[in-house]
């Protein structure tokens, strides 16, 4: 536990999140359902509470989880048969609730989510479809939603074969989506090559979306953390992570230290420095350095990115910490064609938990750097 006299960035951000919830924690998430952004926010809050010894942040997470976890371990508003990887993400908070729990409901909920992944529809090589309604498609987003959960589940419930599954998912999508020229990863891959956004020869979507690569970068550092050091694929995963981080540093905007919405398009008309992806990269770089997955020189890129976030996109007001420049949402479908014009046309918002949660994770990771 860290002891200090002045509130850190992460504590100020966490306090703002609670304030945005009208103080009681029940108005935080207007979706009113089990969902991935909510799950990421709760995880960031709990980690901050654990690190700084602030039980109210951990309690905030538990209060929200208890809105959904039923006495028998079923999950309100969740449907396994949707086979939607996004719905796994909030389950990462279950592991922090297991210790000291008087009943088995958190464990049963974790088993339910693991059962979804056991039956998740797959590509011909065993890659998880992003959702049942997106056949034969793998998205970078899905690796963050599912892999860290499955990796911690493997450790917690002694299922070592699931580390092999996690490694397979991480390595397969990297092999299918990596551009050898830039080293960057395309947002999605359609094995069937049927989608309007899919390249006819590779099946990949046409651009490198910042937040998609952010999800993938976070997926690796949060998954490998739970691997045994002697797992045969651990070193390979860490190796492709470092290779990818070199590619990310090459497209880091030098003056601001931030990353563009479309990573390799610089100041092309419509492109902009985007907050959520930049926060995710800072988090992944800083955690990678702290856990020694990355060489120490990557710390400079993380520090530069954090300085850019805190000086250019963050404001502190009487209402707390504000974050600007957040892409509200983006995906791939018939009306979301993955084109450059599509990515830069999505709404840009402030203070969305889609950006605030990665900002909190990034702040905490920077504070944890030795």
At 185 the three-state DSSP class reads: strand
Q: Evaluate whether residue 54 is within a structural domain.
A: yes
What is the pLDDT confidence band of residue 101, given thresholds at 50, 70 and 90? confident
Mean pLDDT over the full length of the chain: 95
Confidence (pLDDT) at 71: 96
Cβ-contact 196, 249 below 8 angstroms: no
Confidence (pLDDT) at 3: 47
What is the pLDDT confidence band of residue 29, given thresholds at 50, 70 and 90? low
Q: Evaluate whether residue 1 is within a structural domain.
A: no
Domain count for the chain, please give it. 1
- Cα 305 to Cα 78, 291, 310, 365, distances in angstroms: 36, 19, 9, 12
What would the pLDDT profile of 297-353 be if each residue is shown by its tens digit? 999 999 999 999 999 999 999 999 999 999 999 999 999 999 999 999 999 999 999
- Cα 70 to Cα 3, 67, 79, 126, distances in angstroms: 36, 8, 14, 32
Indicate whether 365 pLDDT > 70.
yes
Indicate whether 27 pLDDT > 50.
no
Q: Fill in the DSSP letter of residue 93.
A: G
Long-range CB contact pairs, 314-317, < 8 A, 24+ = 314/359, 316/12
Q: Evaluate whether residue 3 is within a structural domain.
A: no
Residue 225 to residue 228: CA distance in whole angstroms: 8
Which residues lie closer than 8 Å to 158 by C-beta, 6 or more apart? none
Q: Which domain holds residue 227?
A: 9-368
Confidence (pLDDT) at 30: 60
Q: Which residues pair with 333 in a beta bridge?
A: 336
Q: Evaluate whether residue 259 is within a structural domain.
A: yes
Indicate whether 114 pLDDT > 70.
yes
- Among 174, 83, 167, 161, which Cα is nearest to 122's? 83
Confidence (pLDDT) at 285: 99
Confidence (pLDDT) at 20: 86
What is the pLDDT confidence band of residue 32, given thresholds at 50, 70 and 90? confident
Region of 25 on the Ramachandran plot (φ > 0 left; ψ -120 to 50 alpha; else beta) = left
What is the pLDDT confidence band of residue 48, given thresholds at 50, 70 and 90? very high
Report the sign of the C-alpha dihedral through residues 54, 60, 17, 114, in that order.
positive
Encoding tokens for residue 304?
A: 């530069």
Query: Are β-strands 314-317 and 188-190 bridged in parallel, bridged antiparallel, or unpaired?
Result: unpaired
Let me know if 141 is a catalytic residue. yes
Query: Are β-strands 326-327 and 320-323 bridged in parallel, bridged antiparallel, or unpaired?
Result: unpaired
CATH number for the domain harbouring residue 241: 1.50.10.10
**Stretch 79-102: mean pLDDT, rounded?**
95
Indicate whether 99 pLDDT > 80.
yes
Q: Which of 66, 86, 99, 141 is catalytic?
A: 141
């Amino acid at each position: 536990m860290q002891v200090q006299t002045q509130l850190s960035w992460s504590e100020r951000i966490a306090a703002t999140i609670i304030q945005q919830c009208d103080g009681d924690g029940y108005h935080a998430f207007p979706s009113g359902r089990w969902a991935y952004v909510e799950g990421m926010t709760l995880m960031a809050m709990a980690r901050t509470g654990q690190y700084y010894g602030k039980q109210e942040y951990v309690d905030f997470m538990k209060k929200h989880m208890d809105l959904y976890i039923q006495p028998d371990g079923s999950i309100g508003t969740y449907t396994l048969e949707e086979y939607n990887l996004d719905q796994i993400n909030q389950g990462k908070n279950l592991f922090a609730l297991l210790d000291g729990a008087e009943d088995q409901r958190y464990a049963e909920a974790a088993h339910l989510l693991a059962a979804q992944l056991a039956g998740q529809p797959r590509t011909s090589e065993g890659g998880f479809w992003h959702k049942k309604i997106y056949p034969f498609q793998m998205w970078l987003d899905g690796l963050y939603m599912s892999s860290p959960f499955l990796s911690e589940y493997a450790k917690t419930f002694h299922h070592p074969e699931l580390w092999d599954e996690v490694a397979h998912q991480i390595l397969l999508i990297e092999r299918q989506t990596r551009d050898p020229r830039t080293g960057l990863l395309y947002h999605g891959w359609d094995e069937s090559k049927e989608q309007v956004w899919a390249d006819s020869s590779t099946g990949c979507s046409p651009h490198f979306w910042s937040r998609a690569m952010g999800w993938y970068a976070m997926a690796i550092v949060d998954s490998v953390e739970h691997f045994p050091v002697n797992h045969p694929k651990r070193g390979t995963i860490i190796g492709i992570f470092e290779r990818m981080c070199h590619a990310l540093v090459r497209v880091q905007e030098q003056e601001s230290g931030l990353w563009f919405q479309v990573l390799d398009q610089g100041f092309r008309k419509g492109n902009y420095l985007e907050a959520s992806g930049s926060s995710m990269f800072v988090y992944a770089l800083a955690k990678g350095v702290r856990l020694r997955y990355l060489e120490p020189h990557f710390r400079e890129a993380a520090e530069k990115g954090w300085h850019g976030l805190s000086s250019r996109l963050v404001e502190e007001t009487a209402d707390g910490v504000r974050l600007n420049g957040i892409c509200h949402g983006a995906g791939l479908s018939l009306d979301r064609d993955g084109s450059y014009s599509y990515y830069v046309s999505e709404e840009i918002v402030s203070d969305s938990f889609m950006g605030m949660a990665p900002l909190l994770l990034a702040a905490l990771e920077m504070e944890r750097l030795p």
